[in-house]
Amino acid sequence: SNRCVTAADILKELEEKCATPTAKLRQISDAMSVEMHAGLASEGGSKLKMLISYVDNLPTGEEQGVFYALDLGGTNFRVLRVQLTGKSAIECQEFAEVSIPPQLMVGTAQALFDYIALELAKFVADESEKFQLLAGRQRELGFTFSFPVMQLSIDSGTLIRWTKGFSIQEMVGKDVVAELAASMKRQGVNMRVSALVNDTVGTLAGGRYGNKDVNIAVILGTGSNAAYVERAQAIPKWHGPHPKSGEMVINMEWGNFRSSHLPITEYDTALDAESLYPGEQIFEKMISGMYLGDVLRRVLLRMAEEANLFGETVPPKLKTQFILRTPEMSAMHHDKSPDLNVVGSKLKDILDISETNLSTRKIVVEVCNVMATRGARLAAAGILGILKKTGRDSLRDGEIPQTAIAMDGGLYEHYTEYRHCVENTLYELLGDEVGKHVKLVLSNDGSGIGAALLAASHSQYI
């Protein structure tokens, strides 16, 4: 290999290419806001789909009864049921989580949905007496389906395309509710799907239930996306009836945002080219949990190949796509031991790199830091874009409006450095005066509860 290049040189170049100074973040947030306008103006007007959710009323707290939710959109799916009391309270709540066998993510629609419906059937069979379905009523379900969907109504919608590692081509263009309902029927589940919701919309609904200031929801998990409350009059492409509330929740599908201002590196370009959806989900590929670990791997691979970071030979496993997952990256990044023992053991366990010295481990942590910092700062710039678009970053009628942003997703929840960086960057961008009026609130599993609440507010019995 080329002896002239050191890992420190590659690191320095990486830091320069990934830099996100405040001025750059402002350009990115402006671009986000411009694309939001374009996506609302006409169908296909922007890379941002700005999907109409058909949710024009968020939960009020008066919802009552037993409701179910099913959340599909990542590596696991969850089923849950809640008993709502009608006083902004959830009397009881139970859930089950099941992982999705990888072969079902790229198999047939029937295999995937039958698997889900079977788990749902088992869960329903387990319903205890704490849950009181009113006599003569059918159970109702909110279906959180976290992929881009063109909604046709609150309870139907067609899949635009897959993301996050799923790829079942026959499903594209099909009504996902009809598909689920058919599987439920086959598995003997008697339940009506009352609401089809994106996880961001569910998180917004769940967040609003507990906090009236919630107007925006952001997911940072396997993938990334955002939803927010828009004025119906600001949606030129909406030709339906004017909602009474004057508002409509928009599912941005911000994962597909892209801009010439984004700090894209050779590693991003290669990751994109080798991905299931080249050219798509560029923002998501830079900020979300599915991809962060793999960008890290690509940087380490180049350091191994060109600067012998791990010795004379390149560790073969370092060439395996997605071998280094974001939770492992997070564990290495948070290693506070003087010898960086966690980094050492992760490199050994995951990549079969047996001997590493402290300076090598420090470089690995530094690369984690560069990639996580870039992702978190870009996510904060995206949030600023929404605040700008909705005028929540400045005076309105002489006052700065109070905004709460419901945050969910395993990346935000568990990757502490990343979360702190999102928070700090947002307040850095907003400044003290506006910052006082904006809060980030962790809305743990808000999307599941939100979907159940939306099933309640769109019940066939009201």
Catalytic annotation, residues: 78, 146, 199
What residues from 325 to 344 belong to the interface with ligand ADP (CB under 6 A)? 326-327, 330
* CB closer to Mg ion, 306 vs 408: 408
Pick the binder of ligand ADP from 59, 409, 446, 448 (CB under 6 A): 409
Question: Mind giving me the DSSP string for 228-256?
Answer: EEEEGGG-TT--SPPPTTSEEEEE--GGG
Binding window for ligand ADP (CB under 6 A); candidates: 8-16, 20-28, 61-69, 405-413: 405-413
By CB under 6 A, residue 407 contacts ligand ADP: no
What residues from 62 to 121 belong to the interface with ligand ADP (CB under 6 A)? 73-75
Q: How far is the CB of 72 from ligand ADP (least distance, A)?
A: 9
Encoded amino acid at 12, one letter? K
Report yes or no: 201 and 228 within 8 Å, Cβ to Cβ: no
Residue ranges in 93-139 assigned as alpha helix (H): 102-105, 109-125
Query: Rounded CA gap, 287 and 66, in Å?
Result: 37
* CB closer to ligand ADP, 18 vs 290: 290
By CB under 6 A, residue 148 contacts ligand ADP: no
Site string for ligand ADP, 432-451 (x = CB under 6 A): --------------------
Query: Rounded CA gap, 360 and 452, in Å?
Result: 49
Query: Rounded CA gap, 120 and 100, in Å?
Result: 13
By CB under 6 A, residue 429 contacts ligand ADP: no
CB-CB neighbours of 86 under 10 Å: 13
Q: How far is the CB of 208 from Mg ion (least distance, A)?
A: 18
Burial status of residue 88 (CB atoms within 10 A of its CB: 0-12, 13-18, 19 or more): middle
Which residue shows structure tokens 């940087």? 299
Q: How far is the CB of 245 from ligand ADP (least distance, A)?
A: 28
By CB under 6 A, residue 411 contacts ligand ADP: yes
83 binds, among ligand ADP, Mg ion, none (CB under 5 to 8 A by kind): none
By CB under 6 A, residue 20 contacts ligand ADP: no
DSSP code, position 154: T
* CB closer to ligand ADP, 299 vs 400: 299
For the chain, how many residues are written? 462
Report the half-sphere exposure of 420 (CA within 13 A, side-chain side).
6
Query: What token pair was written down for 69?
Result: 């939710």
DSSP code, position 133: P
Site size for ligand ADP, by CB under 6 A? Answer: 16
What helix, strand, coil percent values describe the chain, rounded to 5? 45, 20, 35
Q: What is the CA radius of gyration of the chain?
A: 23
* CB closer to ligand ADP, 382 vs 401: 382
* CB closer to ligand ADP, 65 vs 289: 289
Binding window for ligand ADP (CB under 6 A); candidates: 26-34, 48-56, 219-227, 228-236: 219-227
Task: Provide the binding-site residues for Mg ion, judged by CB under 5 A.
Answer: 73-74, 199, 221
Q: List residues near ligand ADP by CB under 6 A.
A: 73-75, 221-223, 289-290, 326-327, 330, 409-411, 414-415
